[in-house]
Structure 1
Amino acid sequence: MSKVTVLVVDDAAFIRDLVKKGLRSHLPGVQIEEAINGRKAQQILARVDIDLVLCDWEMPEMSGLELLTWVRSEPRTAKVPFVMVTSRGDKENVVQAIQAGVSDYIGKPFSNDQLITKVKKALNKAGKLQLLAQQASKPTAASAFGNDSLNALTGGKAPVVNTPPPVAAEAFAAKPAAKAASSASKAPPAGRGQGTLRLPNSSCDCVIKALSLKEAQLVVKVQEQLPQVLESAVLDLQQGADNEVARLNGYLHSVAAMENTPSSEWLVVVFRFVDKDPQKLDYLSRLIARGSVQKHYSPGA
């Protein structure tokens, strides 16, 4: 029986790991290939039968759009489902991808549920989802979870594990409503720039306290749904007289209260970048050199 194989293409190792973990957890039996850019993906597609491509847009050497164009031009791969996984959600980018023959679109940041829903849709349309379910249901010596795997693929729900929030976040859960109301009018802390932090299920404005080529130190207001460490996110930086926007992919490296008190209204979030795109790194360099953000920031200082 042939295997169902998914190719994950992204220059950021963290994003590839996130996607692979989600696929293996929800789609038992799936085979996964990975590539760090479009050029490497071409080599894999030339020698391996791929059933679905999950691809980032912005990558060095060959972008996702260039890879998509090549895939659609090759008779061997022309009909392979191609899902773009990217923070480029603007209308003109979506139109570009559609014109190039994209099968579907997943916006960053994304949750596991969003990812798996899109993947199942693409595999089902290609007639591969049932095959994957059959693979997962075959008992093997290495696994005693065949029935559970089939159930997960065909609509059964796996048990939900409630992960406790980070220690820094627990202090906010019991904050009295009166205290929160009395401090709601406090002005945000001073910063060196502004941006928007986009999480899988929410977004919030943030103040950029410090910035380096590797990470940003952000201050965000406490919300009902607290950000979690290692959660994937996208940071939209808006800087300069022309309000230039840089869209940076990454994850939350740490989350802590700004003040050592349960009534603190603000969180300090360290957002670590995963992009390797030279254009984004150049933009960050220009922001730092411009002086609109702190020039020197030492992680852990």
Structure 2
Amino acid sequence: MSKVSVLVVDDATFIRDLVKKGLRDHFPGVQIVEAVNGRKAQQILARESIELILCDWEMPEISGLELLSWCRAQDALKSVPFIMVTSRGDKENVVQAIQAGVSDYIGKPFSNEQLVSKVRKALSRTGKLQELLASISPKLLSSGALANDSLAVLTGGRVESAQPSAPATPVAAPLPAPTPAALRSPSPTPARAPAGRGQGQLRLPSGTMACVIKALSLKEALLVVRRGEALPQVLESAVLDLEQGEAAEIARLNGYLHAVAAFEPRPDSDWLQLTLRFVDRDPQKLDYLSRLIARGTAQKHFIPGA
């Protein structure tokens, strides 16, 4: 039986690895092909049979939207499911993708459950899901391996069957666990928000939170957020939204949490300090980030609903 092939297109290695791990954990029989941009994806699609395409929007050379339009113009690719995986969640962008023939949409950052659900739905529509599941051995199915949450593995969740490799560079000291009383009863006089270069919104798979930008470079951002009951996790994917300039442009910077620590040297600190490592390689985004750094972010604020 031929394997079910999925093409993962993204210029960010971290995102491709996250998608690949999620797919392999839940669909062990899947064959994954990857491309770093739309140009490489075209070359692959011209010579290989692909059953599903998972593609980023913003990429160098050929964007995800351009690749989608190209696919829909090819007789052999017209009916291949195409899922856009992107931080562009604005209504106008969604409409653009729908008009170009997108099959579905996954917003960054995404949880493993969201990814698996969308892929399962797309493959089911074409009959490939049954073919894929039929290729998985009964022993593997009964072992519970398909229940692994790949994002939990990456972020230190309780998955004992997989051991994440040690990070190449040391991260901040582990965050002390809060006392039950600290979680139930916030301080009657909460600390004032730390000062910084500006404000933004950090989007995580579990939700969104306002953040203060302490430092910004082409590689990473140092952020401070108010602590909640659910703590952000190291290696969790994230998107930082910033407003830029008089035209109210929104910079959507994709990344992952490289370090999480208490902002104050006490277990019940009201604030967390996060290091967000950027994964975008799109020249336009890098130029955007350069302009943000050059102009400073003191006057930049997130627009709700963007």
**TM-score, normalization: structure 1?**
0.87
Task: Check if 1:96 corresponds to 2:96.
Answer: yes
Q: Deviations over 1:192-231 (max 9, x none)?
A: 0100000001110000000000100000010111100000
Q: Deviations over 1:54-108 (max 9, x none)?
A: 0000000000000000111011111110000001111111111011100000000
Task: Check if 1:246 corresponds to 2:251.
Answer: yes
Q: Deviations over 1:5-41 (max 9, x none)?
A: 0000000000000000000001110000000000000
Structure 1 match to 2:261: 256
1:53-72 pair list within 5 angstroms: 53-72=53-72
CA contact (8 A) 1:7 1:50 kept: yes
Give the partner amino acid of 1:171.
A
Displacement of 1:125: 0.2
Residue 80 of structure 2 aligns to a residue whose secondary structure is: coil
Residue 113 of structure 2 aligns to a residue whose secondary structure is: helix
Point out where structure 2 has 5 or more consecutive residues left out of the alignment: 159-171, 299-306
Structure 2 match to 1:109: 109
Displacement of 1:245: 1.9
Displacement of 1:291: 3.1
Q: Deviations over 1:133-179 (max 9, x none)?
A: 111137xxxxx525447x94xxxx56998826x97334325453586
1:34-53 pair list within 5 angstroms: 34-53=34-53
Residue 259 of structure 2 aligns to a residue whose secondary structure is: strand
Displacement of 1:290: 1.2
Displacement of 1:292: 3.1
CA contact (8 A) 2:5 2:30 kept: yes
| Greater alpha carbon shift after TM alignment, 248-257 vs 235-244 | 235-244
* Compared CA separation, residues 258 and 47, structure 1 to 2 (3 A): same
Give the partner amino acid of 2:18.
L
CA contact (8 A) 2:8 2:32 kept: yes
**TM-score, normalization: structure 2?**
0.86
Residue 96 of structure 2 aligns to a residue whose secondary structure is: helix
> Quick one: distance in 1 between partners of 2:7 and 2:176?
39
Give the partner amino acid of 2:135.
Q
| Greater alpha carbon shift after TM alignment, 174-183 vs 200-209 | 174-183
Displacement of 1:259: 1.1
> Quick one: distance in 1 between partners of 2:54 and 2:109?
14
Aligned residues: 281
CA contact (8 A) 1:194 1:238 kept: no
Q: Deviations over 1:274-294 (max 9, x none)?
A: 01111111111111111336x
Residue 177 of structure 2 aligns to a residue whose secondary structure is: helix
Residue 113 of structure 1 aligns to a residue whose secondary structure is: helix
Of 194, 215, 220, the match for 1:215: 220
Task: Check if 1:283 corresponds to 2:288.
Answer: yes
> Quick one: distance in 2 between partners of 1:29 and 1:285?
42
Residue 145 of structure 1 aligns to a residue whose secondary structure is: helix
CA contact (8 A) 1:222 1:265 kept: yes
Q: Percent identity?
A: 65
1:144-159 pair list within 5 angstroms: 145-148=140-143, 152=146, 157=147
Give the partner amino acid of 1:91.
K
* Compared CA separation, residues 192 and 9, structure 1 to 2 (3 A): same
Residue 269 of structure 1 aligns to a residue whose secondary structure is: strand
Give the partner amino acid of 1:188.
A
Of 233, 236, 241, the match for 2:241: 236
> Quick one: distance in 2 between partners of 1:54 and 1:10?
8
> Quick one: distance in 2 between partners of 1:287 and 1:167?
29
Structure 1 match to 2:14: 14
Point out where structure 1 has 5 or more consecutive residues left out of the alignment: 139-143, 294-301
> Quick one: distance in 1 between partners of 2:227 and 2:80?
44
Structure 1 match to 2:167: none
> Quick one: distance in 1 between partners of 2:283 and 2:179?
41
Structure 2 match to 1:190: 195
